[in-house]
Amino acid sequence: MHQVFKEWCIKNHYKAASRGTFSKILTNENIGIHLPRKDQSRMCCSYKTGNISKEEYESHIAKKTEAREAKKNFIESANEKDVVITVDVHSVLLAPKLLASALYYKLKLQCHNFTVYNVLSKDVKIYFWHEADGNVTAKEFTFCLIDYCLQMSVLMDADT
């Protein structure tokens, strides 16, 4: 990471801090640099802990591969009139971010994040709500997708 920082400094005509100073600042500011953890499905985690058979796991992997191939084929065969989207449900976010204390357990609010990504146009729509506004059931995700489709319809009508 220090090397990337040095290259950026050279490119932008700054004097780069030494590796030691760079590390000290990261430590003092409580900044950790690491590769993000890859989310794993429940089936993959169950297989790693020995809770499902190898046959069930292999079936799961085959379905995952088939789904990725189908997505790839949809993207490759789409034309400018098509809409190809992917969706992602992010892990539950707790707010506010507090250190462990009595307040930590009493003041937490669960926040939910659902993202719709248009693969062809690269447009992103993020739906964000907290537990007082709704749960994380099929109903909330359906509302998000209906809203997205209605907005797409309005945009398409405006283009014609």
Q: What is the pLDDT of residues 128-152, one digit of tens each?
A: 988 888 888 899 999 999 999 998 8
Q: What's the confidence (pLDDT) of residue 35?
A: 60
Q: What is the pLDDT of residues 10-30, one digit of tens each?
A: 999 999 999 999 889 888 888
Distance, in Å, from the CA atom of 113 to the CA atom of 88, rounded to the nearest integer, reads: 8
Looking at per-residue confidence, does 98 or 14 come out higher?
14
Note whether 65 and 49 are within 8 A (CB). no
Q: Is 44 a residue whose pLDDT tops 90?
A: no
φ, ψ of residue 8 in degrees (nearest 5):
-65, -45
Distance, in Å, from the CA atom of 82 to the CA atom of 15, rounded to the nearest integer, reads: 49
